[in-house]
Structure 1
Amino acid sequence: MRASARQVPRAVYYALASNVVVTICKFAAAAYTHSGATLAEAAHSSADCVNQILLIAGRRAAHGDADEQHPLGFGRETHFYAMLVAIQFFLVGGLVSVGIGAWRLWHRSEFDHPEVAVAVLLASAAIEGSALRASIRSIDRKRRAGGLWRWFRETGELEVMLSIGEDAAALASVLVSLAGTGLAALTGWAGFDAIGSIGVGCVMMATAVFSLREIKSLIVGEAARASVRTAMRAWLDARPEIARVVTFVVLRWSDSLLVAIQAELANPRDAETLVRTIDAIERDLQRDFPAARWIYFEPELREHGEHPV
């Protein structure tokens, strides 16, 4: 069942709860073992907690009532908060982790009680994996049927996208940390632990860059996914009142759609009939495509020919 407009997606709360637990465990383990990889994990997990709070704040701000200055509402507030999240992910989760690893590698820091660090990281991997699975399952089954990668590229739900991305990156970074601490424990060289910290930072920065790319595309203005556009165009072509669709644009606006249509109507008799016909088309289109929150229909004349767009 789809969350209501003002409801924060469950994926965000899953990520927040798991990050709080994992952050406490990682900081405790890092203090006890002096593990750079575990400290880097703790730093990025604490950043994740702040990120989830930002996403919740953005979700609430996005559903403020429209006003004269913002006639389409505040849906794109989520884009701003999502950008803050991705930047923090890059700086705190990425650069700080790389810095910790480089500092420990340069100073040849010691690594005590590796078995404790490995145990904590294994527990963290289980928690992060469970959170990732729960977040993915919060996506509507039909929407994730085409594959998670396709959903990432097509979704307008930035909070869910970032929460799942963070969970996936967190799981990957834990595995990198495990590799570093495991090698350090087996070989006795603490440098592997420091290299693991650098690896964690690289995973975080790569995730942030990917997220920023998707956010930028939505800020610039991105069309709805192809399947939605195809279904909506077929719906318009099947309407007997429409003789020809001239221009058809469907833009994503947060998790809603803005639809602009120019079309030649069949046999428009008078102004009143024209208005009633357009009202009926817009009403029925919104009924069959509930995400289409704004629909702008402009009747076109045949002698104007094809629209240049």
Structure 2
Amino acid sequence: MPTPTNTPDAPQSKTAIVAALAANLGIAAIKFAAAWFTGSSAMLSEAIHSLVDTANEWLLLLGLRASQQPATERRPFGYGRELYFWAFMVAVFIFLIGGGLSLYEGYEHLRHPAPLSSPTWNYVVLGLAFCFDGGSFLVARRMFNAQRGGQPFWQAFRASKDPSVFVVLFEDASDLLGLLIAFLGVFLSHWLNKPALDGVASLLIGVLLLVVAGLLLRETKSLLLGEPAEEAILQRIAELVDAEKAVARTAAPLSSYLSPHEILVVLTVSFEPGLPAAQVVEIIERLRTAVQQAHPDVKHLFIQPVAASKPPDYGSSVA
């Protein structure tokens, strides 16, 4: 039987999301105002970027809240993958709305370039936005670094099972890069008197958003479909079970992440022949307790006993 689902507590993830939501909401407003007064295509793209990010943070909060619902009769394994679904939707929105609209704005500005009016407002807004986004980025980076430990960045990103942190981190990083591109677009178009450069900046922001969205889509899709637990964890679980004297052999565990801190594991175990059924049940319960004490994230553990004469399948672990 699976153990009851424990509702994960994610105050750190929520802190990063709320910080990004507050920053992007305020920044989007002042960017739209600056784009209206100056006519900057790059600034309008950045305003759209911040507005999309604001909606994305709201979706992540929605997913985080939905994922913490307790298990029900219709959802015996809980709602953990709600977070993965909404994180996937965030990546889709960045791709379709953020990247698509920025590319469109850049294309239109290249077709109909117009000189900027009062570019000073753009510089003021970009400076303020950089400060707000920088603060949000530092919060998200601190949360991500706490998760990754000593792992290299890209390895930790690929191994992370908590999109509520790495999605915000990538959004904030793309915000800062987008602001730098927008600044160069505004500055060069004004300094060189070439309004088309502002449209080029908008196109580059669109490409940036498409790249970030592509990375997030790949990772969140993998989580949504069900990633297996880390090989080191599965190896330790198998060793723990093999240490039981009554166990003859253990197949490679099958596993899947149901949420960032909720793993489902299935073990096929061959016991020594001649053991009474009652004793096998007692051993299984003891093994379950030992595994879950050693690995608290293993919330659902199924141990399937097979006869010693029928060795278990030692295929590789899959989700």
Work out whether the TM-score is over 0.5: yes
Measured on the aligned residues, the alpha-carbon RMSD in Å equals: 2.1
Q: Does 1:298 align with 2:304?
A: yes
Give 1:288's aligned residue. 294
Map 1:28-47 onto structure 2 (within 5 A): 28-47=33-52
**Aligned-partner Cα distance in 2 for 1:46–1:189:** 28
**Aligned-partner Cα distance in 1 for 2:278–2:202:** 69
Give 2:4's aligned residue. none
Q: How many corresponding residue pairs?
A: 307
- 35-44 vs 268-277, which deviates more? 268-277
Give 1:211's aligned residue. 216
Query: CA distance change for structure 1 residues 80 and 67 in 2, over 3 Å: closer, same or farther?
Result: same
- The one of 60, 74, 88 aligned to 2:93: 88
Give 1:272's aligned residue. 278
Q: Does 1:201 align with 2:206?
A: yes
CA contact (8 A) 2:265 2:300 kept: yes
Query: CA distance change for structure 1 residues 232 and 114 in 2, over 3 Å: closer, same or farther?
Result: farther
How far residue 206 of structure 1 moved from its aligned partner, in angstroms, is 1.3
CA contact (8 A) 1:264 1:300 kept: yes
**Aligned-partner Cα distance in 1 for 2:59–2:146:** 27
How far residue 6 of structure 1 moved from its aligned partner, in angstroms, is 6.2
CA contact (8 A) 1:6 1:60 kept: no
**Aligned-partner Cα distance in 2 for 1:63–1:36:** 41
Q: Does 1:262 align with 2:250?
A: no
How far residue 268 of structure 1 moved from its aligned partner, in angstroms, is 6.2
Q: Gaps spanning 5+ residues in structure 1: where?
A: none
Query: CA distance change for structure 1 residues 52 and 77 in 2, over 3 Å: closer, same or farther?
Result: same
How far residue 290 of structure 1 moved from its aligned partner, in angstroms, is 0.8
How far residue 305 of structure 1 moved from its aligned partner, in angstroms, is 2.5
Give 2:3's aligned residue. none
How far residue 159 of structure 1 moved from its aligned partner, in angstroms, is 1.7
- 40-49 vs 212-221, which deviates more? 212-221
Map 1:13-52 onto structure 2 (within 5 A): 13-52=18-57
Q: Does 1:173 align with 2:178?
A: yes
Q: Deviations over 1:95-143 (max 9, x none)?
A: 1111111111111122122233123223322322221121121236353
- The one of 117, 125, 141 aligned to 2:146: 141
How far residue 151 of structure 1 moved from its aligned partner, in angstroms, is 2.0
What TM-score, normalized by structure 1, do the two folds share?
0.92
- 150-159 vs 43-52, which deviates more? 150-159
Q: Deviations over 1:76-100 (max 9, x none)?
A: 1122212221111112211111111
Give 1:113's aligned residue. 118
What residue identity is the alignment partner of 1:280?
R
CA contact (8 A) 1:6 1:63 kept: no
Q: Gaps spanning 5+ residues in structure 2: where?
A: 1-6
- 133-142 vs 212-221, which deviates more? 133-142
CA contact (8 A) 2:271 2:308 kept: no
